[in-house]
Amino acid sequence: MSRITSVKGLLLAGSLIALSAAGSFAQELNLYTSREPGLVEPLLQAFTADSGIKVNTVFLKDGLVERVVSEGASSPADLLMAVDAGNLVDLVERGLTQPVTSEVLNTAIPANLRDANNEWFALSMRARVVYAAKEIGLKEISYDDLADPKWKGRICIRSGQHPYNTGLIAAYLTHNGPEATKTWLEGVKANLARKAGGGDRDGAKDILGGICDLAVANSYYVGLMRSGKSGDEQKAWGDGIDVILPTFKDGGTHVNVSGAAVAKHAPNKENAVKLLEFLVSDEAQKLYGEANYEYPVKPGVALDPIVASFGELKVDSLPLADFVKNRKAASELVDNVGFDN
Amino acid sequence: MSGSTTEKAGRSGLALRLSGALHRRLTLPPRPAGGVWFFVILAIAALVLAPVLALLWQASRGSVTLWSHLMGSVLPHALGQTLILMGGVGVLVALSGTLLAWAVTAWDFRGRRLLEWGLLLPLAVPTYIVAYAYLDLLHPIGPVQEFLRQMLGYTSPRQFRLPDLRSMPGAIVLLSLVLFPYVYLPVRAMFMTQAANLLEVSRTLGLSRRQAFWRVAVPSARPAIAVGVSLALMEVLNDIGASEFLGVRSLTISVYTTWVTRSDLPGAAQIALAMLLLVVALVSLERWARRNQRYSVNAQRARMIEPLLIRGPRAWGMFALAALPMVFGFLIPAGYLAAEAVQRFHTAGLSPQLLREAGNSFTISALATLAVLICGVIIACGARLFPSHALQIAQRISGLGYAMPGTVLAIGILTVSAGFDRSLDAAMQSWFGVSTGLLLIGSGMALGYAYLVRFLGIASGSTEAGLTRFPRSYDHAARSMGRSAAGTVFSLHLPLSRSAIAAGGLLVFVDCMKELSATLLLRPLNFETLATHLYGEAARGTYEEASIAALAIVAVGILPVILLARVGGQARRRAS
């Protein structure tokens, strides 16, 4: 019985391979992405319309690195797309990427937003901001203020172990050192209105629900809500809160990126580079704003009006690569102070 | 029904063969384990064991420095939370599942038939969906509290709001609401086919109905309760989404954090394997505790319980009470999803993509369920036909995949499948100059393999539970009358444990539909399922965009529930 099944399976697999091989004569490229399909899809459609290159995708989330490592030299992956600078650096450190020499990319992306050896490139930015209840009329706040006892029982935040938060904490750590960071985290923890958890958008909902006055979250969630794309109810949520761009003491606003790297064994490297170059074109950079309310990496590209309404973004000067090194230490500090407990 | 089949076969064959065959077999020592069976079962066990070994290898590459950090600041809290969560869910599902099973088998009242299958419906709702639905419904700005505020004359949630659902008690109740059918299903099957004889005896000996329940029905259903509770608890261990929503920091979340946030896969594998040891220890303890007990009835034909007819207010009360889990575990979350989906449908319409995803989910789950059932039956029947230590161990191994968090197990499966694919690719290239690419992963077979590893325990466990009810003398009779091992399986085991196998198949199918971790990690390019689509939206916090997909997962999950209800109904009609 099992022999029959396996023979059938082999035949089936064989025919599938034949099919996929037949398809590979056309121009195509294989994209492994840990960005959600809903965000990447509009960009890819524009790319295919523009270039005639078909993009095959698989959305992988947390297992991106493991999948590419395991597939080794047989991997069909051409381009690896990920959120969070740390994940991009991970790809390089695991030896899964290759350098790309492209004048287009080097001109479009500022040097602090790409790898020194051109192994990864940031494609969009998002700021870690503070949402505030309209009625408290807050105008400005620093990340340090979040630990101020006057906010006791008034702050909502997702798990301290989420990459968006470990990124922020790692940056704080790089600015202020471990002792001060621990004290700060303990302070923030003491101010929480509820256990750390849920998603960034829950922060906005909980403010409206009267559970907290402040929530730490990514900038684009507000855009998604305010645009009314997800219905009138959410538009009301988005309009019910203020967005404040906090800063580090003597620094700017914490920013993280989404980006991509060409896979080491990419069978269609040329096409992968074409997609990368397309993604930093004015058209695509504008789409990042329109589809997901992110900040463009390319200087001079107009912001989406909703994004622009948050105020002028003053990006913290700390290079991405610097705070990425402290991610693990940040994650351990989160455990040590029992931030999520 | 099946009892009579064997009897007939027995009577016709008996006279002819008794003198020769029976005599020969009775005088010879028991035959050694059948060669083919032995190797097939060991091969299946090896397939399940491979990813666990791969994880062991991963774990061994890491340092143990992680543990001092874990011991200091993570484990005490995470372990405590996990134990409270499992304890709470365990008690709730054991009580509710058993009482509900008793209610619909021991009593007859208006609406009982509806409940019999209606109580299975919560199975179709994944834990993360039920958590999401209730969080939205009961949120201070959700419909329930808004209504309450209007009734009480408050204008803002800042003036009045209910306690937050995001808490340990909230998590226990929500998870139990959708996990109790794991207990209800096998226990009801047990009550239906086995308890009748015992109960009649107990009643003639003067026990009241209530006493009969506690002193006869419950103890005799203990294997089924144990199987059901352990399945439910493993679902709890596997859950990440609901815990994340509800702010419960379980061990599974620690595994996940270690892997994702600290990029420490070896460390994550170490914690996962430690958890596996814990689970194996618990399951072994339960088995050891009932080592000296036998749960089969004697060789007489099993009969159904004669339910007690009740009417009037008592019947209504009974119905209302027993319907509560169905209402809260299915109707409310599904109704909420339906309302969201309708709204979504009006704004965005139905994408053709969704139909393709539904097709993908259904096809891969159906194929995998078939493979899982075949392997499960081979293991359970083989281990029964040829009792030996080796096969018993193989049988235990087949359950390992279900006892590990799916996220981590998926990496083990990835390691094995990709390793195979790469070796094959390299070999084919060097011998024939052709590249086979990624055979298992590229064709989706790796996904089928993952479902097999993950859910084989359900199929083999439920088949085993089905067979345990029947004494081995059945097997001896069949074998002594010259039936081959395979013949015994087809003419005896399969008919006897048909409803148990169907129940197992249902659970496997629904679990495949809901499965996320392995599906996300192992699927080929351009292959989305309903679950991965839903996750993609959930990951960026836009659930409502996926409400149609979520509803579709639930809807597809209902199909096998109906199918199973029909199989159960037929069995019942034939028996009576």
Within chain A, residue ranges assigned H as helices are 2-23, 37-51, 64-71, 85-93, 103-108, 163-191, 200-208, 219-226, 232-239, 269-279, 282-292, 305-308, 320-324, 327-336
State how far the Cα of B86 lies from the Cα of B428, in Å rounded to an integer.
49
Inter-residue contact A229 to A166 (CB < 8 Å): no
pTM equals 0.83
Examine the domain organization and report whether A218 and A297 are in the same domain.
no
pLDDT above 50 for A16: no
Examine the domain organization and report whether A145 and A238 are in the same domain.
yes
pLDDT the model gives residue A236: 82
pLDDT the model gives residue B18: 40
Contacts of B526 in chain A (CB under 8 A): 56-58
- Among B residues 171-230, those touching chain A with beta carbons less than 8 Å apart: none
Q: Is B421 helix (H, G, I), strand (E, B) or coil?
A: helix
State how far the Cα of B402 lies from the Cα of B458, in Å rounded to an integer.
8
Mean pLDDT score of chain B, rounded to an integer?
A: 83
Contacts of B542 in chain A (CB under 8 A): 38, 224, 230
Tokens of A35: 């960005």
Tokens of A256: 């993280």
Work out whether strand A255-262 and strand A79-83 pair parallel, antiparallel, or are unpaired. antiparallel
Inter-residue contact A264 to A98 (CB < 8 Å): yes
State how far the Cα of A62 lies from the Cα of B372, in Å rounded to an integer.
27
What's the rounded mean pLDDT across residues B406-418?
A: 88
Closest to A39 (Cβ–Cβ): which among B140, B374, B540? B540
pLDDT above 50 for A324: yes
B523 touches chain A (CB under 8 A): yes
pLDDT above 70 for A20: no
For residue range A263-316, what is the model confidence (pLDDT) as tens digits? 999 999 999 999 999 999 999 999 998 888 999 999 999 999 999 999 999 999
pLDDT above 70 for B572: no
Contacts of B44 in chain A (CB under 8 A): 2
For residue range B511-561, what is the model confidence (pLDDT) as tens digits? 898 888 889 889 999 899 998 888 888 777 677 778 888 888 888 778 777
Examine the domain organization and report whether A241 and A324 are in the same domain.
yes
Confidence category of residue A18, pLDDT binned at 50, 70, 90? very low
Q: Indicate which of B67, B166, B540 best probes the interface with A, i.e. most A CBs within 10 Å of its own CB.
A: B540
For residue range B438-469, what is the model confidence (pLDDT) as tens digits? 889 998 999 999 999 999 998 998 888 788 77
Confidence category of residue A192, pLDDT binned at 50, 70, 90? very high
A220 marked as binding residue: yes
Contact A58 B439 (CB under 8 A): no
For residue range B101-122, what is the model confidence (pLDDT) as tens digits? 999 988 899 889 889 889 989 9
For residue range B492-502, what is the model confidence (pLDDT) as tens digits? 888 888 888 88
CB within 8 Å of B210: residues ≥ 6 apart: none
Contacts of A66 in chain B (CB under 8 A): 265, 411, 414, 521
State how far the Cα of B46 lies from the Cα of B375, in Å rounded to an integer.
12
pLDDT above 70 for B84: yes
Give the residues across from A247 on adjacent strands. Answer: A142
Contact A76 B545 (CB under 8 A): no
Closest to A70 (Cβ–Cβ): which among B247, B418, B442? B418
State how far the Cα of B478 lies from the Cα of B7, in Å rounded to an integer.
10
State how far the Cα of A131 lies from the Cα of A208, in Å rounded to an integer.
11
Contact B166 A71 (CB under 8 A): no
- Among A residues 17-56, those touching chain B with beta carbons less than 8 Å apart: 17, 20, 30, 36-39, 56
Examine the domain organization and report whether A87 and A147 are in the same domain.
no
Q: In chain A, how many domains are there?
A: 2
| Residue A148, min C-alpha distance to chain B (Å) | 22
A12 touches chain B (CB under 8 A): yes
Examine the domain organization and report whether A187 and A321 are in the same domain.
yes
Closest to B526 (Cβ–Cβ): which among A56, A90, A205? A56
pLDDT above 50 for A4: no
A221 marked as binding residue: yes
Contact B533 A5 (CB under 8 A): no
Buried b (16+ CB within 10 A) or exposed e, B268-288: bbbbbbebbebbeeebeebee
Residue A109 lies in a domain: yes
pLDDT the model gives residue A24: 44
CATH 1.10.3720.10 fits B2-6+41-290+320-575, yes or no: yes
Examine the domain organization and report whether A108 and A15 are in the same domain.
yes
Tokens of A324: 């990425």
What's the rounded mean pLDDT across residues B60-79?
A: 82
Amino acid at B276: L
- List own/partner pairs for B564-570 with CB under 8 A and 24 or more apart: B564/B117, B564/B120, B564/B502, B564/B503, B564/B506, B565/B116, B565/B117, B565/B120, B567/B498, B567/B499, B567/B502, B568/B116, B568/B117, B568/B189, B568/B192, B568/B499, B568/B502
pLDDT the model gives residue B32: 52
CB within 8 Å of B171: residues ≥ 6 apart: B85, B131, B242, B243, B246, B248
pLDDT above 70 for B299: no
Which of B32-46, B51-65, B301-315, B392-406 has the least mean pLDDT?
B301-315
Task: Give Dmax over CA atoms of chain B in angstroms.
Answer: 89
State how far the Cα of A160 lies from the Cα of A197, in Å rounded to an integer.
8
pLDDT the model gives residue B7: 38
Mean pLDDT score of chain A, rounded to an integer?
A: 88
Q: Indicate which of A61, A92, A221, A265 best probes the interface with B, i.e. most B CBs within 10 Å of its own CB.
A: A61
Tokens of A41: 């899809």
A303 touches chain B (CB under 8 A): no
What's the rounded mean pLDDT across residues B119-134?
A: 88
Confidence category of residue B1, pLDDT binned at 50, 70, 90? very low
Higher pLDDT, B197 or A176: A176
Contacts of B41 in chain A (CB under 8 A): none
User: ∠ at Cα A242 (A237, A247), nearest 5°?
Assistant: 135
Examine the domain organization and report whether A18 and A29 are in the same domain.
yes
pLDDT the model gives residue B31: 52
Predicted ipTM of the assembly: 0.81
Contact B421 A74 (CB under 8 A): yes
Contact B520 A338 (CB under 8 A): no
Contact B442 A166 (CB under 8 A): no
Residue of B nearest to A54 (CA): B526
Torsion of CA B518, B372, B496, B114, to 10 degrees: 40
Examine the domain organization and report whether A31 and A116 are in the same domain.
yes
Q: Is A142 helix (H, G, I), strand (E, B) or coil?
A: strand
pLDDT the model gives residue A141: 95
Higher pLDDT, B291 or A155: A155
The DSSP element (H or E) to which B91 belongs, if any, is helix B75-106
pLDDT the model gives residue B91: 97
Which range in A202-211, B279-288, B404-413, B551-560 is most confidently predicted, on average pLDDT?
A202-211
CATH code of the domain covering residue A10: 3.40.190.10
Work out whether strand A79-83 and strand A241-244 pair parallel, antiparallel, or are unpaired. unpaired
Residue of A nearest to B426 (CA): A74
pLDDT the model gives residue B303: 60
- Among A residues 205-234, those touching chain B with beta carbons less than 8 Å apart: 205-206, 208-211, 221, 224, 230-231, 234
Residue A341 lies in a domain: no
| Residue B484, min C-alpha distance to chain A (Å) | 16
pLDDT above 50 for B2: no
pLDDT the model gives residue B25: 46
Contact A17 B532 (CB under 8 A): no
pLDDT above 90 for B386: no
Closest to B261 (Cβ–Cβ): which among A1, A163, A231? A163
The pLDDT > 90 percentage for chain B reads 25
| Residue A263, min C-alpha distance to chain B (Å) | 15
Range of the domain at A149: 127-254+311-336
Confidence category of residue B573, pLDDT binned at 50, 70, 90? low
For residue range B179-209, what is the model confidence (pLDDT) as tens digits? 999 999 888 878 877 666 777 777 778 888 7
Contact A76 B437 (CB under 8 A): yes
| Residue A53, min C-alpha distance to chain B (Å) | 15
Contacts of A73 in chain B (CB under 8 A): 422, 425-426
For residue range A81-101, what is the model confidence (pLDDT) as tens digits? 999 999 999 999 999 999 999
The pLDDT > 70 percentage for chain B reads 88
Higher pLDDT, B403 or A121: A121
CB within 8 Å of B60: residues ≥ 6 apart: B266
Tokens of A104: 């287009």
pLDDT the model gives residue B50: 94
- Among B residues 115-144, those touching chain A with beta carbons less than 8 Å apart: 139-141
Confidence category of residue B97, pLDDT binned at 50, 70, 90? very high
Confidence category of residue B95, pLDDT binned at 50, 70, 90? very high
User: Residue B122 gets which letter from DSSP?
Assistant: G
State how far the Cα of A103 lies from the Cα of B546, in Å rounded to an integer.
40
